[in-house]
Amino acid sequence: MKKWLSVVVVTALASVLFVPSESYAKKRTVDQIDHELRALQQQAKQAQTEQQQADSDKQDAAHYKNKATNFLQVVLQQIDSVSGELSKISADIDKTESDLHTTAEQIDQTQKRIDEREKLLDSRIRLMYTDGVVSYLDVLLSSTSFTDFLDRADSLQAIAQQDQNILEDHKKDKALIQVEQKKLQASYSRAKLLYAQAASRRATLAQKEKEKESLIASYQNKIEQSDDISADQDKLLVSIASKRAQLAQEKNKIKAAQIYAYNQKKKAEAKAKAEAAANAHKVVASTNSDSSSNSSEDHSSSGGGFTGNGGSMALPVSGARISSPFGYRIHPITGAKKLHTGTDFAVGIGTDVHAADNGVVIVAEWWSGYGNCVIIDHGNNVWTLYGHLSEIKVQKGDNVQRGSLIAESGNTGASTGPHLHFEVRLNGTPVDAMPYL
C-alpha cells in the first residue's frame, strides 16, 4: 500500500513539475521562478524526510527479523531436543511392551502350573470324599511289620511335605502374577504419559516455529516495502533536482537579459552625456564602452574600495581594494611572467566572502595552490572561484543564493599575504571578472 501511494505521489508530482505550457514558461518572472524553487525545496525536504523514515523502518524491521530468526533457531533446537526425547521414550515404550509380552508368557506358564496344582488338589479332595477320611494313625497301625511301619511313616511324611510345598508354590505364583502385572502396567502408563507430554511440547514448539516464520516473512515484506519507498524517493529527489537546475538556468537567463538591457541603457545614457558635454565644451573626444570600462577599473584599483561596474554578479567582498587585477604579471612567488587568472581583493583574514550569484557548490575543499577553495556552478558553463580562504562554510552539493555567506578570507595555499582571489570561468577557462561585477 505504501509503495502504491509513493508511486502515485511521484507520478503526480512529476506531471505537475515537468509539463508546464510553453506560453506559461515565457510569461514567468524571476519572482515566480523563486516561488517555484522554494516549493521544490520544500518538496525535496519532504522527500528526504520520507526516505529517512523508510530507511529507519527498514533498520527496525531488519533488527526484529534478526531477533525473530535467532529465536526461531532456539525453537528449532528445542524441537530437535524434544524429538530426541520422543525417540528415547518410544524406545522405552517398545521395551516395556516387549517386557509385557515376556511377562505375559511367564504369567501364562505360572497360571498353567496353578491350574495343574488345582487339578491335583481337586483329585485328592475327590479321593478323600469317595474313600473316606483315613487318618495317618490308621495307616501306621495297619502296618504288617516294623519295616512296613517305617516305610508308611516316610510315605506319609513325603505326602504331607508335598502338599505343603504345593500350597506354598500356589500362593507365591498368585502373588507374583499380581506384582508383575502391577509393575508392568505402571511402567507402561508412565511411558505413555511421557510420550503424550513430549508430543504436546513438540506440537507447541511447532506452532511457535510457524508463528516465527510468519513473523519473519512479515518483517521481510516491510524491508522490501521500505526499499521500494526509498527508491521511489530517490527518483523523486533526482526529478526535483533536475527541475531546480532548469529553473535556475531559466532564472539566470531572465536576469542576464535584464542586466544586459540595464547595461545597454546605461551605456546609451553615458554616450548621450558624453556627446552633450563634447558639444558644450567643443571638445572632440572619442570613447567607447571598452575604454570606459578600463577607465572605471583603473580608477577603482588606484583609489578606494571597488564598488563594481554594474555587471550581473554581486561583489564577493564589500568595499575592498583591488590589489592585483586579471592579466599577465610578474608572479610574486616564482618571479616569472605569468597570467594572473583572477582578481585579488585586499582584505584581512576572517572577512566574510559571499556568493556572487545563485548556484551549486561543486568544490569546497583544499584545492592545490588555491588553498582552501570554493567553486560555484551558476549554470550555462559559468563558474566562480574563491581562493586562499581561512574557513569554508558550505559543502559540496549545497545550493547557495546570491550574496549568501560561503566562507571567510585567509592566506592559505600559494599566497604572499591575506587576500581573496576571485575568478570567473567560462567553460572552465578563467576570464576577466570585471565585466561581470
Closest among 308, 306, 338, 345 to 324, alpha carbons compared: 345
64: in domain: yes
Return the DSSP state at 366: E
The CATH number linked to 412 is 2.70.70.10
Q: How many domains does the chain have?
A: 2
415: in domain: yes
Domain C-terminal end among 191, 221, 251: 221
In angstroms, the CA 301 to CA 318 distance is 14
* 186: pLDDT strictly greater than 80: yes
Cell output for 435: 565585466
The distance between the two most distant Cα atoms of the chain, rounded to a whole number of Å, is 200
What value does the mean pLDDT take over residues 33-41? 87
At 19 the pLDDT is 43
State whether 69 and 213 are in the same domain. Answer: yes
pLDDT one-digit tens code per residue, 240-284:
877 777 887 888 788 788 888 878 887 887 787 777 766 655 533
State whether 184 and 332 are in the same domain. Answer: no
Domain C-terminal end among 178, 194, 221: 221
* 33: pLDDT strictly greater than 60: yes
In angstroms, the CA 298 to CA 303 distance is 8
As a whole number of Å, the CA-based R_g of the chain is 56
Q: Which residue has the higher pLDDT, 109 or 358?
A: 358
- What is the per-residue burial (b if ≥16 Cβ within 10 Å, else e) of 183-210? ebeebbeebeebbeebeebbeebeebbe
Domain that holds residue 81: 57-221
Sign, CA dihedral 78-79-82-88, equals negative
Domain C-terminal end among 189, 221, 253: 221
At 282 the pLDDT is 52
What value does the mean pLDDT take over residues 317-344? 88
pLDDT band (50, 70, 90) for residue 366: very high
| Most confident of the ranges 96-105, 237-246, 314-323 | 314-323
State whether 343 and 206 are in the same domain. Answer: no
The CATH number linked to 79 is 1.10.287
What three-state secondary structure class fits 379? coil
pLDDT one-digit tens code per residue, 287-305:
344 434 443 444 344 446 8
376: in domain: yes
Note if the pTM is more than 0.85. Answer: no
298: in domain: no
pLDDT band (50, 70, 90) for residue 129: low
At 392 the pLDDT is 97
At 284 the pLDDT is 35
